[in-house]
Structure 1
Amino acid sequence: MSQRFFTQTSQDIVYLDANATTPVLPRIADVVSHTMKVSFGNPSSSHITGVQAKYLLEQTRSKARRVIGAQTGDILFTSGATEGIQTAIVSTLLANRHKATEHSVLLYGATEHKAVPNTLKHWNDVLGLGAKVVAIPVDENGLLDHEFIAEHVPKALMICTMAVNNETGVYQDLSALERVIRQHNASVSWMVDCVQALGKQALALSDTSIDYAPFSGHKLYAPKGIGFLYIRENSPYTPFIAGGGQESGMRSGTENLPGIAGLYELFDLLLDEASDVFKPVETLHQYRKQLINALEQTFGSITFNMPLVGSVPTTLNFCVDSLTSKEVMDLFDAAGIRVSGGSACSSGANRSFVLDAMSASDWQSENAIRMSFGPAATQAEIDLACERICALKPVLANNCLIVSDAVQPEHEVCALGLTQLRHQGSCCWLYVAPNNDAVIIDPVVELVPRIERLVAQQQLHVKAVLETHKHQDKDSARALLANRLSLNTDSDELGWPGAAVQLGEQELVRIPTPGHSADSHTYLLRQGDNVSACFCGDLLIFSGLGSTQFADANVCDMAESIRSLAPQLSDDTVICPAHDYEQCFALTWAAQVQATPLLKQLLDEQIDKERFAEQKAQLDEQLSSECGALCGFSNVVKTTAAQQLSVEQVQQMLEECEQETIVLDVREPYEHGAKDIRSLFNVGDAQLVNVPLSRLANAFFAHQLSPQKRYVLICRTGNRSGQAINNLKSLGFDKVYNLQGGLALV
């Protein structure tokens, strides 16, 4: 019997990503299943089973009219909102192509779902209209600029807006919008994306001049693959899908009757005034207030990226002021709380185009979290969500992510050894000695609040805040951080106090290493003659060399610096550069030399300084043309894909090779603390090690890992563990394996 793909029951999670999709309500699922098994007829068939199917289809269409207030016009069943958008736009553009001139515009709201502008651009090009696709600006509250519309809509072939924004929940005043559109262009086709409005706002489309309104079932507890499109009477229409003539010739293809039956039950629930499935707006506002209180109680300072007045109560878009969106999402996911970063449809993006359009700060745009629930949410579900959120407070405190009320945190997870703190491609390094003496090297402005919190929480004695050079690609954070930490030591402009910095039994010394810049220096952490860590700034990049294209760079100086530095390093000295563009995380000096052919040739005296300069110039030119003004180049290490193991295979390996096999959890400590995975694999404490990517360098610094052992790497999805495996392989670890799909598929 084949294994069924069920990974986790709904009781195990708190689902707060309803704007992305919703679970199918049990009543709706029952109707869908019944239709598949019993009422499965083809509505185009003339026999009784087909007639019954046709009746269900038309009854659903009738209920749709009542739900959206459309006594006239057409209701067309589609596969979802994207098809509805395509249909509306193609119909309009075909009907208006004879009107198109070089001055014509296609207007859309700047915060519109990407399906709208992308469709406008696509069909404008395909049909050769030559119209200009123009975004309508919004203000800081996400409201469309009516003056801009008044100015541009007279030349518009079409205008597209949305009722409720999917990222922020901000709703537009459709009546005011209609007035400004129709006062300046009575005949322009107007499409309103109503996907997020269904079930959350009253709709009366027949009372408006809206030409098209797409809807999607899966955003409101119906199945995926079903939606519908409202088309105003006498609005332009061209079938987007031709074929057998179903839907009265408007949309060919056998109708998705189970999905339509799901809509029927959904509409029934929406129209049933006696039903308590869909909550009144007052209750939804109370739910949102509870969630806000839980967030503020847990995280402290929160910035909301949308107006609480002027948005539907089922959506919250916020930033935790002291944490990145990745940290928050990873923490929530480990605790079984599902949220998203901005829009689920653009989850690969680094920032929110919606918040950019609303003139939000870079921090807000890059670190937005969207928390959304459906209008059928229950009080018990919201209570559980708040309980789970509040339960994260001690995890945050123990991992230095918030300031704790406790005198001492329970876990010293980040105090000793090396920690790599990253912001985009930049690295800040923290070293803490066993006596809590600490040094911070190459701090990044965006990380200052986190470092300050970490220092306070761990009661660190910061001896110096240093820079390896005046960085060309970012503002200096050294003085800011030193001031925030009340560090009053005499130092030069890079923070160096003038003598070796004592850190427990080790000392930090500085040597000049010009090349990347004239003021470049390298800091060596040593005990006697043994150098355990080399903070090299941008002299070296993981698996590469720093750039020599900046104004004060000198490639010959770089060659001399490398030659003078090399004799002081041992094979297992940990390299700590100021940038990590390839997400390498950790390399030893031996691995760095092996991975960088030009470096190896220079040290082996296969090339002289002049030849080094010539080849380095070629690499810099290539870097500039391919990547822009980065501070160095990396040779991407080519490794074979790691063997993927199932949970059963992992357990078998643990049992057969108990002394040799280690489960290596590369999630951050706050994720590790939020979800204990020992029970998943029946693994003892000695066989489970947590080494997050931010501490991977420390694992080699402290000789925590051995190439003789077997390591099964685990993270949330398998991505971070895959990165760590590449890193380990470049360091000579051959017996490394990945948990297939990560914890997400366990």
Structure 2
Amino acid sequence: MTTEIYLDSNATSVVLPAAIAAATDAMGQRYGNPSSTHGTGLKAKAILDQARASAARLLGVGPGRLIFNSGATEGIQTAVLSALVALRERRDAGRAIGALLVYGATEHKAVPESLAHWNRLLGLNLTLHKLPVDGNGAHDLAALRAVADQAAMICTMAANNETGVISDLTAIEAVLNETNCNACWMVDCVQALGKLKLDLSSTRIDYAPFSGHKLHAPKGIGMLYVRAGTPFTPLIMGGGQESGQRSGTENMAGIAALGAVLAALERGDTFRTHAELCSFRARIADSLRAALPGVVFNNPFDKALPTTINFAVPGLSSRELMDVFDAAEVRVSAGSACSSSKAAPSYVLDAMGLPLWRSAGAIRLTFGPLADEATIAAACARIERCGAALRASCLIPSERTAVPHDGLLQLGVEGACSWMVLDAASRSCIVIDPLPEHTTRIEAYVRCQNYQVQAVVCTQPNAGRAQLIAALGRHYNRAADADEYGWPANAAVIAVASGAAASAITVGTQVLACVPGQAQRAYLLGVADGARLPAAAVRFAFSAQITQALRDVSTERTVLCPTRDDGNQLCSGTTSATQAITTADAQLDSAALASFLQAHPDARLIDVREPYEFAAAVAPAPAGRPALSVPLSRLAEYASTWLHEEPAPLVFYCRSGNRSMKAAQCLRRLGHPQAYSLHGGLALA
């Protein structure tokens, strides 16, 4: 039984059971070609005719055309091609055409890219003009009025896919009428189907694309409305299907499924009412406020679809929020699903003028009109679970002091690393090479766990210490003067393995020693033997590079913690150059995992997701075996321990297999031969 709660319906929706049954019937019983005139073909044609008639009634098509196609992208392409071909014909006939292809700044990327594509191929050389929106995502009507007489085509949307903001189509139409604008007008109605009342023939909308998979039909089926008398050029020519408007044998399974959804909309007995959907949104919003202090909603609820919530949380990236929600098996997205894999701010929220932290940290949570009470209640409980996990990891403010962590913590950004040496018993720590980007995170971590920072040291002189020290306030030990590297003037003296004297500072039971004889600063971390730090006792070295001086005071089991990690290797050894590791022999697929664990009862299963993901997780570990939480940020600490133990097989896993492969490769580079990654991660397990 699945524990997944799917809240990404603006990307795609679960398929209505009646739609699945209709598609199965079309494939299994009424499988004929609707262009055939025999009985089997006529049965298929009946499905097509019924679906078209239902859509025509729901959308108020009137005398306009309604063409079945593969979905919204094809519909947009067809509409743009049709309008631009008509423009070229008009221009070639010596008639005036506008100079601008106007589109809303928050349109789906398919719109401006289609405009640019056909504008170039048809040789029109018109100018693409982005129509601005206000802070609520509404089109700037004054800006539209200023360019309406120059517009050759205008593209807006009924409701935005990222924010759910509903466009004032009546006001836009009024502007077009007032300015005597004769440009073709396309309205993207993808998110409107089943959520907004549409009466297309009563408007001057020329083209309206729809996509079935946004409203509980399968992918690969959609519709395009074309107003009566509006120019039309087929995108696909061939067999003459759809009255010659869209050739290619019809996708009858998809049409049957979409027909079942449309029939359900007409009956009014399947989907939630607007009031019920608003109630669901209010409950989810309340849970977000309770779980995530400071949460800000990026869409105005009174001007948006009730099924869309777009939010951001101060101090948290969209990646962190995505990860913790996904661990709790609550499926949300960062902005548009078409671009959520790209680490970039939302262009929709940027166009609304929102600050960068909100557009870069945005999460889109969407449910469909098929949502039920049980799903919403479970979602609210999971959201609260995510909040608790983030509080325990010191990523959001907590009234309680978190359980202190022990050992070594790595923070990375764009190839550079910050390190924290933590001692839970004494509540003290040392920060090495703090990056400005990590100041807020380190300060929150120290404050949340009530640590006292003994020193902030760097491997380069004057390397950004001041910003962190100012942020730490009372949590920084200011008792001793420090040099330009942050090294305390009152540091003790200790002998290292080369016999040379080195200065050292203490954190808990360990010492951090400054390596003598180095042109650049390097540090050693280990447990001293009296006034000596033997090479075998050096667990970690912090340096920009491996030098002979470093090798003289460490062993092959010493882990190098780099100041830069451009290769995303996390850490390496101090005694040899890094070797490339092949991925094939380091991977286990889910089918092989159970037999591998049975053959290796001493194997350890290790979850490398971050602590907040581990805490929020609701699904059991793969193969039903308990797992150890070792996030990549703490891998160096655990790697050092494993290298000093009798080797046992290590099987790393994460959500997708990407992070676990990095962990397995890192351990193999360090000399641990039995490190593996679960291929495909939990997503495929």
Whether TM exceeds 0.5 here: the answer is yes
Task: State how far apart, in whole Å, the 1-side matches of 2:244 and 2:437 are.
Answer: 57
Query: 2: CA distance between counterparts of 1:93 and 1:469?
Result: 60
The alignment status of 1:324 with 2:324, answered yes or no, reads: no
Shift of 1:423: 3.6
Could you tell me how far apart the structure 1 residues matched to 2:167 and 2:397 are? Answer: 39
Provide the secondary structure at the position in 2 that maps to 1:576.
strand
Matched residue, 1:15? 6
Q: What's 1:436 paired with?
A: 427
**Match runs of 1:312-391 below 5 Å:** 312-351=305-344, 352-391=346-385
Taking the aligned partners of 1:707 and 1:40, their CA distance within structure 2 comes to 63
What TM-score results when the alignment is normalised by the length of structure 2?
A: 0.89
Aligned to 2:500: none
Mapped contact 1:707–1:734 kept (Cα < 8 A): no
1:422 aligns to 2:412 (yes or no): yes
Deviates more, 1:389-398 or 1:259-268: 389-398
- The alignment status of 1:47 with 2:24, answered yes or no, reads no
Q: How far apart are residue 669 of structure 1 and its match?
A: 2.1
Give the CA deviation at 1:207.
Answer: 1.9
User: 1:102-121 counterparts in 2 under 5 A?
Assistant: 104-121=99-116
Unpaired runs of 5+ residues, structure 2, are: 492-504
Equivalent residue letter for 1:269:
A
Match in the other structure for 1:70: 61
Write the distance in 2 (CA, Å) between the matches of 1:457 and 1:654. Answer: 38
Q: Does 1:671 align with 2:678?
A: no
TM-score (norm 1): 0.82
Q: Alpha-carbon deviation of 1:137? A: 2.3
- 1:714 and 2:656 equivalent? no
* Partner of residue 253, structure 1: 248
Equivalent residues in 2 for 1:555-634 (5 A)? 567-591=552-576, 593-594=577-578
For residues 134 and 229 of structure 2, what CA distance do their matches in structure 1 show? 34
1:658 to 590, 594, 601: 601
- Offset of residue 285 of structure 1: 1.3
Partner residue, 1:196: 191
Q: Could you say if the C-alpha distance between residues 676 and 247 of structure 1 is closer, same or farther in structure 2, counting changes exceeding 3 Å? A: closer
Aligned residue for 1:224, secondary structure, equals coil
Work out the CA distance in 1 between the residues paired with 2:477 and 2:107.
48
The equivalent residue for 2:495 is none
* C-alpha separation in 1, matches of 2:160 and 2:574: 51
Tell me which residue corresponds to 2:304: 311
User: Is the 8 Å Cα contact of residues 419 and 698 (structure 1) preserved in structure 2?
Assistant: yes
Are residues 182 and 730 of structure 1, via their aligned partners in 2, closer, same or farther at CA, if it must alter by over 3 Å? farther
Q: 1:498 matched to which residue of 2?
A: 489
> Is the 1:161–1:193 contact (alpha carbons within 8 Å) kept by the matching residues of 2?
yes
Residues 221-240 of structure 1 correspond to what in structure 2 (within 5 A)? 221-240=216-235
Partner of 1:242: 237
Give the share of equivalent positions with the same residue, in percent.
42
Change (3 A) 1:476 1:723: farther
How big is the shift at 1:278? 1.8
CA contact (8 A) 2:665 2:675 kept: no
How many residues end up aligned between the 2 structures? 658
1:400 aligns with 2:394: yes
Task: Tell me the CA shift for residue 576 of structure 1.
Answer: 2.7
CA distance in 2, matches of 1:252, 1:398: 58
Larger CA deviation: 562-571 vs 246-255:
562-571
Match of 1:525 in 2: 525
Q: What are the ranges of 5 or more consecutive residues in structure 1 without an aligned counterpart?
A: 1-8, 546-561, 596-636
Match of 1:123 in 2: 118
**Structure 1 residues 317, 32: closer, same or farther in 2, change over 3 A?**
same
- Secondary structure of the corresponding residue to residue 443 of structure 1: coil
Instruction: Find the aligned partners of 1:658 and 1:74 in 2 and give their Cα distance.
Output: 66
Structure 2 match to 1:156: 151
The residue type equivalent to 2:636 in the other structure is A
Q: Deviations over 1:327-380 (max 9, x none)?
A: 222222121211111111112211222222222222222221111000121112
Three-state SS of the structure 1 residue aligned to 2:575 is helix
Pair 510,185 (structure 1): closer, same or farther in 2 beyond 3 Å: farther
In the alignment, the residues of structure 1 paired with residue 62 and residue 628 of structure 2 have an alpha-carbon distance, to the nearest angstrom, of: 64
Instruction: Provide, for residues 29-67 of structure 1, a one-character-per-residue CA deviation record: whole Å limited to 9, x for no partner.
Output: 222222222222221111223223223312221221222
Q: Is the 8 A contact 1:707 1:733 kept in 2?
A: no
Q: CA contact under 8 A between 2:278 and 2:307: conserved in structure 1?
A: yes
CA contact (8 A) 2:432 2:457 kept: yes
* Contact 1:470–1:476 (8 Å) recurs in 2: no
Counterpart position of 2:173: 178
Q: Distance in 2 between matches of 1:237 and 1:125?
A: 19
Summarize the Cα distance change of 1:480–1:202 in structure 2 as closer, same or farther, 3 Å threshold. Answer: farther
State the SS of the aligned residue for 2:125. coil
Compute the displacement of 1:298 (Å). Answer: 1.6
Q: Determine helix, strand or coil for the equivalent of 1:439.
A: strand
Q: 1:727 aligns with which of 658, 666, 673?
A: 666
1:699 is displaced (CA, Å) by 1.7
SS of the aligned residue for 2:605 comes to strand
Shift, 1:217, TM fit = 0.5
